[in-house]
A and B are shown apart, each in its own frame.
Chain A
Amino acid sequence: MGGADHPAALRVIGKALRKVDAVAKVTGATKFADDLALPRMLYAKLLRSTQPHARILGVDASKAQQLEGVRAVLTGKDFPIPFGILPVSQDEHALCPDTVRFIGDPVAAVAATTEEIATAALDLIDVRYEPLRPIASAADAVAHPEPRIHEYGDSGNLHKLIHLEFGDVDEGFAAADLVREDLFFFEGNTHLPMEQHAALAEWSADGKVTVWSSTQTPHYVHRALAKVLELPAARIRVIATPNGGGFGGKSDPFSHEIVVARLAMITGRPVKITLTREEVFYCHRGRHPTLMWVKTGVTRDGAITGMHFRSLLDGGGYGSYGVASTYYTGALQTVTYKVPRYKFQGARAFTNKPPCGPKRGHGTPQPRYALEVHLDKLAEQLNMDPAELRLNHLQPPNSLTANYLRVGSMGLGDCIRKVVDGSGWKRKFRQLPHGQGVGFACSSYLSGAGLPIYWNHMPHSGVQLKLDRSGGVTVFCGSTEIGQGSDSILASIVAEVLGVDPFEIRVVTADTDLTPVDLGSYSSRVTLMSGNAALQAAERAREIIVPHVAKRLEVPGDRVVFADGRVFDAQDPGRGMSFAEAVQAAESVVGTVGTTGSYTPPQSAGRYRGAGVGPSPAYSYSACVAAVDVDPDTGIVRVPTIWIAHDVGRCINAASAIGQIEGSVYMGLGETLMEEMAYRENRHVVHKIPSLLEYKSPTTLEMCDVITYIIEDPDPNGPYGAKEVGQGPLLPVMPAVANAVYDAVGVRVDEIPITPEKVLKALKKKGRGDGGEGGRIGPTSFPDIPWPEATRVPPPWEGGDGKAIDQAATLAGGVREERQH
């Protein structure tokens, strides 16, 4: 992309600037969804299922309807049309029509003049259930194909089954000096944004509905509303309010958004809903609990000869992003180190729990944790330094992987060297006193998914730019500010190209009436994709202005420079005009000055069924060293310091990049040590702890120090070379800490989170001498799963062209279907 050619002249890009919305945020002026109120507004509440799995025999809402102040009551029969984020998983209803699938599944809705009346009305609704056997876990789902939670899916209660093979892994294992198998479990956890989801809907008498919502994906909410409400999309306006944290938890279209829209249509009044904290736990869409088995062959020097990876995901009650999540548990194993032969089998189970979906890292933190601990064990067996092992076998830049992912810039080597030097790794590893340890791990993540969620040929991100004679510049983009700084990215890039102050640029985002489509704030796609669209729009605006300034200055166009709010002659900077005068010079001749920019990712190389998940325009890389103190008497693990280096391609805003890295480390630390969605399996899968007090997350007293190194290895696909930074740095934290615990006390906790209880158990096992490998806590078996026939794809170095063998006949249909993910 453009921009990367002239880094020396950069004035805005790379600087540590305030975010454009920072002042609104520090003064409390930012309006989040629940901060909005309209005259005559009604309040909505949802009645949620008390049963994990049941048929609805009847809903009697007559008493609720008679309560004074109640304006409308809705039930499942009001929403016959299903929806869901993926075209292949349209399995949700705004209110359950006939079956409930988890405790918390919405069954009825009320709109009333006050929140208190709406809440009181819920108690008057009588729902009769016929309980069905609940499916409590993925293993339970494998063992019990009946009763089926959904009528669709690959087998019984297995929603999705995947089997991909890139080269003959058995041949790889035969060529290895050492082959090792390991089992790991990663417990589910949730996003826990500080802002509860909220939505406000307004119906106008001319037949249009507006929905303000704390969503990361207004475009997908727009589509779901049009489908379920059977309204032309052009009559629906979705405005994503700034999200008070998202982390993936606000990426699905949700029941409550559809319900308030319908309630507004019925009552003719604005209707607002704000979920309680307990309800946010039921919305969930968080990290899938995942059981993993990995087998890798290596040569004496640590080169991988083949890898076989299996995952079993506990999906909860609905599809959500789950098909994509399942593919992601097998996609990115190949982009960090050379894996010449690779086989992946993945399964996702339906269970009667809140649906899982995309949480920061989406499907990749679980396998990354497994792989990096597995490599630590392999390195020990090979008597190699685990950092050296990785450094010696990096996937090269500008290469294709066995599963046809195209790696561009690749700064992992620099990342490794930075944290190894900075942490004093070589003098600490295996040399610290008992109870202290260091651990090492690496990772990689996408800078946006290469393919859209629904199959289409249109851009993934669009920007419109308005320049007016006052010198004002307005950027319009569908991207959604969730605290990651996406509004600032747009302003910075446009400011860089047009030479204006980024704080003078107006940014209008996330409004389906006003802004061109951007697919949403997920998969770390926004900086690269909306950034490229903004860059194109700004460069087009520059091209419109240049000839008119050049003419007035009587210089060739290539001497015209935009900087510091002026447009001038590069050879005689005193000769020029203000930016406003430059716009006027153009507007006088060509009329209103406006441009558009769009971005579509490059075509991916894989042509097999399932190739749609994994490709990205660019991959970010991270390396991490964690230091731990483990108390052998209590099992408590303290993490004093984490050193992390992240290859961000290029910083658009250095302070924002550091903030994303520190925030990722924080969230990874919480997942490592304490965060878990826990259920009482023997009590009908009741959520144990749907509260902020009982769901433990790190406070200031648990958070570690973070030493951050930014590595800039610009990628030709990124705007100014930028890659992602919002999710990748979370991934290496879990395995680095796990490996450090082993270094400290010699036990392996092959399960996340690493709680004191598990550490103590492992230490006791080690003390008894029955632990093998010095004591281990973790899963001991992987269930038998009815895997489908493998899709066999020869890797590029075996003459492959990205297509599967024997699948030529079915390819067109298969690719089409799978690419929707």
Chain B
Amino acid sequence: MVLAPKSRIALRLNAEPCDVAFAPHKTLLEVLREDLNLTGTKHGCELGECGTCTVLLDGRPVLSCLVLGLACDGHAVDTIEGLAGAGLHPLQTAFADLGAAQCGYCTPAFLLAAHALLAANPKPSRDDIKQALSGNLCRCTGYIKIYEAVELAAARLRGERAEPAPETLYGRR
């Protein structure tokens, strides 16, 4: 088999300029994982069904398994690797503290989808959260700790001094 010559694009990746060369048929998912070694973005089906490969393209959640790498030339891509600064992002802190990540495989995708939600809607209702995350499957948590973590992070991002309710962590009495 003859290998196709690589194509080269320039993008803003996690707020930094980046250029990368890759086989032109590759999806953004493959470019991130294989050509940029950013393995924080996961795959569950590579058919656009599970949401596990969600990244942000110009701030909007997209399924990176359905986006051609070439289509990202000149655009901004954010992955889980760019979410934390010197410390964890409030969403990450809340996910960690509440156990919203169990196996952790779908977690990067949920965090990015939630990040996009909070950017657009700083005070989402439970239903808003369910709708925003309805394209992401999680088999471990039953989603509840994820909702609670998003709500906690949203409150903290609004500057409120929020703490998880006792039943969130210890159950009902």
Is B truly associated with A?
Answer: yes
- Name A residues whose Cβ lies closer than 8 Å to a Cβ of B: 16, 18-19, 21-32, 34-35, 67-69, 114, 116-117, 120, 191-196, 242-247, 276-277, 418, 422, 482-485, 654-659, 661-667, 691-693, 697, 699-701, 703, 705-710
A700 touches B134 (CB 8 A): yes
Q: Within 8 Å CB of B170, what residues of A?
A: 16, 654, 658, 710
Which parts of B98-140 form the interface with A (CB within 8 Å)?
Answer: 98-99, 101-108, 111, 129-131, 133-140
Query: Range of interface residues on chain B?
Result: 35 or more
Q: How far is the CA of A34 from the CA of B52 in the complex (A)?
A: 14
Residue of A nearest to B91 (CB): A26
Which residues of chain B are within 8 angstroms of A196 by Cβ–Cβ distance? 43-44
Contacts A16-B170, A26-B95, A692-B47 given: A697-B137 contact, CB under 8 Å?
A: yes
C-alpha gap A705/B147 in the complex (Å) = 11
* Pick from A21, A27, A482: contact of B83, CB under 8 Å: A27
Measured between C-beta atoms, what is the minimum distance from B169 to chain A in Å? 4
Cβ of B18 within 8 Å of any chain A Cβ, yes or no, is no
Q: Is the CB of A663 within 8 A of B142?
A: yes
Contacts of B162 in A (CB 8 A): none
Q: Decide: B169 and A654 in contact? CB cutoff 8 A.
A: yes
B58, CB-defined interface residue at 8 Å? no
Known: A25-B103, A28-B80; 19 extra A-B contacts, CB below 8 A, are: A22-B96, A26-B96, A28-B41, A32-B39, A69-B1, A194-B138, A242-B103, A243-B103, A245-B105, A245-B139, A483-B103, A658-B99, A658-B145, A659-B102, A662-B141, A663-B102, A663-B142, A693-B45, A701-B131
> What residues of A have a CB within 8 angstroms of the CB of B96 in the complex?
18-19, 22-23, 25-26
Residues of A within 8 A of B103 (CB): 25, 193-195, 242-246, 482-483
Chain B nearest CB, measured from A54 CB (Å): 29
Q: Are A277 and B47 neighbours in the complex by a CB distance under 8 Å?
A: yes
Q: How far is the CB of A570 from chain B (nearest CB, A)?
A: 29
Shortest distance between the CB of A771 and any CB in chain B (Å): 34
Knowing A32-B42, A710-B171, the reply to whether A23 touches B104 (Cβ < 8 A) is no
Interface hits, B43-68 → A, CB 8 Å: 43-47, 49-50, 52
- Minimum distance in angstroms from B97 CB to a CB of chain A: 6
Please, which residues of chain B bring their CB within 8 A of the CB of A699? 134-135, 137
Q: Do A23 and B88 form a contact, CB below 8 Å, given A194-B138, A422-B172, A700-B143? A: yes
B49 interface neighbour in A120, A276, A692, Cβ under 8 Å: A692
Dominant secondary structure at the B interface:
loop
Q: Which of B7-56 contact A (CB under 8 A)?
A: 33, 39-47, 49-50, 52
A23 contacts across to B, CB distance below 8 A: 88, 92, 96
Contact of B46 with A30 in the complex, beta carbons under 8 Å: no
Q: Quote the shortest CB–CB distance from A649 to chain B (angstroms).
A: 14
Quick one: closest A residue to B173, CB to CB? Answer: A709
Contact with A along B138-173 (1 / 0, CB 8 A): 111111110100000000000000000001111111
- State whether A483 touches B171 (Cβ < 8 A): no
CB distance from B40 to the nearest CB of A (A): 2
List, in ascending order, chain A residues with CB within 8 A of B52's CB. Answer: 194
| Other-chain residue from A483, A661, A697 in contact with B104 (beta carbon distance below 8 A) | A483
Closest chain A residue to B138 by CB distance? Answer: A194
**Bound Cα distance from A707 to B103, whole angstroms:** 22
Q: A35: which of B39, B99, B130 is its contact (CB, 8 Å)?
A: B39
| Chain B residues closer than 8 Å to A662, beta-carbon distance | 141-142, 144-145
Give A192 to B139 CA distance when docked, in angstroms.
7
Chain A nearest CB from B61 CB (Å) reads: 14
Partner of B40, one of A28, A666, A693: A28
**Given A28-B80, A658-B171, A691-B49, A22:B108 Cβ within 8 A:** no
- Interface pair B1/A194, CB less than 8 Å apart: no
With a CB–CB cut-off of 8 A, which chain A residues contact B81? Answer: 27-28
A631 to chain B minimum Cβ distance, whole angstroms, is: 20
Asked if B47 and A691 make an inter-chain contact with CB atoms under 8 angstroms apart, the answer reads yes
Chain B residue at minimum C-beta to C-beta distance from A483: B103
A484: which B residues are within 8 A, CB to CB?
102
A664 CB contacts on chain B under 8 angstroms: 142
Q: By the criterion CB–CB under 8 Å, are A697 and B44 in contact?
A: no
Q: Is there contact, CB below 8 Å, between B1 and A700?
A: no
- Minimal beta-carbon separation of B167 from chain A (angstroms): 8
- How near does chain A come to B1, taking the closest CB pair, in angstroms? 5
**Minimum CB–CB distance for A544 against chain B, Å:** 34
Rank and list the top 4 A-B pairs by shortest CB-CB distance, nearest first. A28-B40, A483-B103, A25-B104, A666-B142
Asked whether, in the complex, the Cβ of B83 is within 8 Å of the Cβ of A483, the reply is no
Question: Do B42 and A706 have beta carbons less than 8 Å apart?
Answer: no
18 A-B pairs within 8 Å (CB atoms) are namely A26-B88, A27-B83, A28-B108, A34-B39, A114-B3, A193-B103, A193-B105, A194-B44, A244-B106, A277-B49, A483-B103, A483-B104, A662-B141, A663-B141, A663-B142, A667-B139, A692-B45, A708-B167
Cross-chain contact B140 with A708 (CB below 8 angstroms): no
- Quote the shortest CB–CB distance from B134 to chain A (angstroms): 5
- Contact check, A68 vs B172: say whether CB atoms are below 8 A apart: no
- Give Cα A484 to B46, complex, Å: 26
A21 vs B101: C-alpha distance when bound (angstroms): 10
Shortest C-beta distance, B106 to chain A (Å), equals 5
B residues within 8 A CB of A706? 142, 144
Could you tell me if A697 and B143 are in contact, using CB atoms closer than 8 angstroms? Answer: no
Task: Look across to chain B and name the residue whose beta carbon is closest to the beta carbon of A28.
Answer: B40
Contact A26 B169 (CB under 8 A): no
Nearest CB of B to A414, in Å: 12
Residues of B within 8 A of A703 (CB): 142-144
Distance in Å from the Cβ of B91 to the closest Cβ of chain A? 8
Contact B40 A194 (CB under 8 A): no
A692 and B1: CB pair below 8 A? no
Determine how close the nearest CB of chain B comes to the CB of A283; give it in whole angstroms. 15
B46 contacts across to A, CB distance below 8 A = 276-277
Chain B residue with minimal CB distance to A706? B144
Closest Cβ–Cβ distance, residue A796 to chain B (whole Å): 36
By a CB distance below 8 angstroms, the chain B residues around A697 are: 137, 139
**Cβ-defined contact, B99 with A659, below 8 A:** yes
A27 and B84: CB pair below 8 A?
yes
Cα A351 to Cα B9 in complex, Å, equals: 51
How far is A195 from B111 in the complex, measured between Cα atoms in Å? 17
Q: Tell whether A29 pairs with B171 under 8 Å between CB atoms, given A193-B139, A244-B104, A703-B142.
A: no
B48 to chain A, nearest CB (A): 8
Instruction: Write the nearest CB–CB distance from A584 to chain B, whole angstroms.
Output: 33
Q: Are A26 and B47 in contact (CB under 8 A)?
A: no
Known contacts A195-B44, A658-B170; A26/B107 CB under 8 A: yes
Residues of chain B within 8 A of A483, CB atoms compared: 102-105, 140
CB distance from B11 to the nearest CB of A (A): 19
**In whole angstroms, what is the CA distance A276 to B65 when docked?**
13
Please indicate the chain A residues that have their CB under 8 angstroms from the CB of B136 in the complex.
700
